[in-house]
C-alpha cells in the first residue's frame, strides 16, 4: 500500500474518518469531565498522552502534506482533500485546545517529543523550500558531507532557536 492508496482509502471511507475525527475531541471533553483538575495525575496524564499522539500524528502529516502540495507541487486549494488535508488539522487543534483546559502540556509525558518533531519537520521543509527556490547546484569542488553538515547545523539552529523562543 502506498501513501496515495491510503489517501484513496480515506476518501472512500468517510464514515470511519468522521467517527475518528469527531471522536477525538469528544473523548477529550469526556476526559476533561471525568478527570477535572486531576489531569496532571498519574493515570490521566498517560491517557492524555495517547490522545495527543492519536491526533497529532495525522495532524502533522496533514500540515506537512499541505505545505508540500502548495509549495512544491503548486496545487490549487480547491483540490484539497477534506479528510486528508483539512479535517485532521482542525481535529488536532480542537483536541489540543480542549486538553489544555484541564492539564498543562509540560505535565504530559512525550509532549516535548511531538512538538520537537513538528519543529524538525518545519525546519526540513523550510530548508528544502529555500534550496528549491534558490536553485543551488552542488559544485563538485565542495564535498557532499559539507552540505550535510550545513544542513544539520541549520536544523540545530532552528530547533534550539524555536525552543528558546517558545519558553
| Higher local confidence (pLDDT), 97 or 110 | 97
The answer to whether position 120 is within a domain reads no
Contact 33, 98 (CB under 8 A): no
What domain range includes position 89?
Answer: 3-109
* % residues pLDDT > 90 (the chain): 15
Q: At what angle do helices 14-34 and 87-100 cross, to 10 degrees?
A: 10
Exposure letters 129-149 (e unless 16+ CB within 10 A, then b):
eeeeeeeeeeeeeeeeeeeee
The answer to whether position 64 is within a domain reads yes
First to last CA, the chain: 41
The answer to whether position 19 is within a domain reads yes
Q: What would the mean pLDDT of 144-152 be, rounded to a whole number?
A: 77
Q: What would the mean pLDDT of 137-149 be, rounded to a whole number?
A: 69
The answer to whether position 59 is within a domain reads yes
Nearest CA among 108, 77, 85 for reference residue 17 = 85
The answer to whether position 130 is within a domain reads no
> So what's the pLDDT on residue 165?
58
The answer to whether position 23 is within a domain reads yes
Give the confidence band of 116 by pLDDT, cuts at 50, 70, 90.
Answer: confident
CA torsion sign for 114, 119, 124, 128 is: positive
> So what's the pLDDT on residue 68?
84
State pLDDT tens for residues 41-91. 778 888 888 898 899 888 988 888 888 888 878 888 888 888 888 999 999
Give the confidence band of 136 by pLDDT, cuts at 50, 70, 90.
Answer: low
| Higher local confidence (pLDDT), 21 or 129 | 21
pLDDT of 155 above 80? no
Contact 125, 154 (CB under 8 A): no
Give the confidence band of 119 by pLDDT, cuts at 50, 70, 90.
Answer: confident
Rounded Cα gap, residues 31 and 39, in angstroms:
8
The answer to whether position 116 is within a domain reads no
* % residues pLDDT > 70 (the chain): 89
Rounded Cα gap, residues 31 and 109, in angstroms:
17
The whole model's pTM is what?
0.74
The answer to whether position 14 is within a domain reads yes
> So what's the pLDDT on residue 110?
76
Nearest CA among 5, 24, 7 for reference residue 83 = 7
Across the chain, mean pLDDT equals 81
* Total tally of structural domains belonging to the chain: 1
Amino acid at each position: 500500500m502506498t501513501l496515495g492508496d491510503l489517501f484513496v482509502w480515506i476518501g472512500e471511507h468517510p464514515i470511519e474518518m468522521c467517527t475518528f475525527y469527531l471522536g477525538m475531541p469528544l473523548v477529550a471533553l469526556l476526559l476533561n469531565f471525568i478527570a477535572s483538575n486531576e489531569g496532571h495525575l498519574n493515570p490521566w496524564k498517560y491517557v492524555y498522552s495517547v490522545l495527543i499522539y492519536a491526533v497529532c500524528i495525522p495532524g502533522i502529516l496533514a500540515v506537512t502534506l499541505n505545505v508540500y502540495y502548495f509549495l512544491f507541487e503548486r496545487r490549487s486549494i480547491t483540490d484539497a482533500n477534506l479528510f486528508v488535508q483539512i479535517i485532521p488539522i482542525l481535529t488536532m487543534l480542537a483536541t489540543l485546545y480542549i486538553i489544555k483546559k484541564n492539564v498543562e502540556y509540560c505535565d504530559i509525558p512525550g509532549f516535548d517529543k511531538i512538538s520537537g518533531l513538528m519543529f524538525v519537520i518545519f525546519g526540513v521543509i523550510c530548508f528544502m523550500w529555500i534550496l528549491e527556490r534558490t536553485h543551488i547546484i552542488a559544485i563538485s569542488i565542495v564535498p557532499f558531507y559539507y552540505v550535510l553538515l550545513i544542513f544539520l547545523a541549520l536544523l540545530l539552529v532552528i530547533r534550539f532557536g524555536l525552543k528558546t523562543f517558545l519558553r
